[in-house]
Amino acid sequence: MEAITFSQAMAATLVPMHEIDHNLFLGGLGAGGNEALLKRTGIKFVVQLLENTQIAPRFPGITYHFIQIQDSPAENISRHLPDALKFIHRHLKHNQKVLVHCAAGVSRSASVVISYIMAKNNTSFLKALQYVRNKRNCVLPNEGFRRQLEGMNLSTLRGYLRIL
């Protein structure tokens, strides 16, 4: 798989969000902080992965699942996956649109979406990464998140979707 550079990733974030799978959107604050875009797109459910709640936009009529996390290889993103994947799957299952966003839509939120694709499609990290990159080419999980996702047990991830 061809690697992308950091500058390519940053340039690609100029598009606020991309639809990765049916009704599943991935983006940055440009999408999550744009009430008109959320309304126009019909997104009413949002997963936010940000360092603190002060920078987390909130709009009426939208249900949020907030995850406080830094984009650092030392962060444990895997501990947030059960609740995040359940939230995403619950709403997608009812044909509702979900946006997963962090600051840039490159690492934190991309890692959650990749893990969802891994679970839904019963596929490896690399195949899920390529699937997501085909829709949003700026996706670049940090090394710590990448290692955690590569080490995830697929049956455990899939179990989060079956619980509902």
Active site amino acids: 102
> Do the strands 24-27 and 97-101 form a parallel or antiparallel pair, or are they unpaired?
parallel
Q: Which amino acid is at 12?
A: A
Choose among 95, 80, 98, 94: nearest CA to 157: 80
3-state secondary structure of 115: helix
The total number of residues shown for the chain amounts to 164
150/48 Cα distance (integer angstroms):
22
91/94 Cα distance (integer angstroms):
5
17/117 Cα distance (integer angstroms):
17
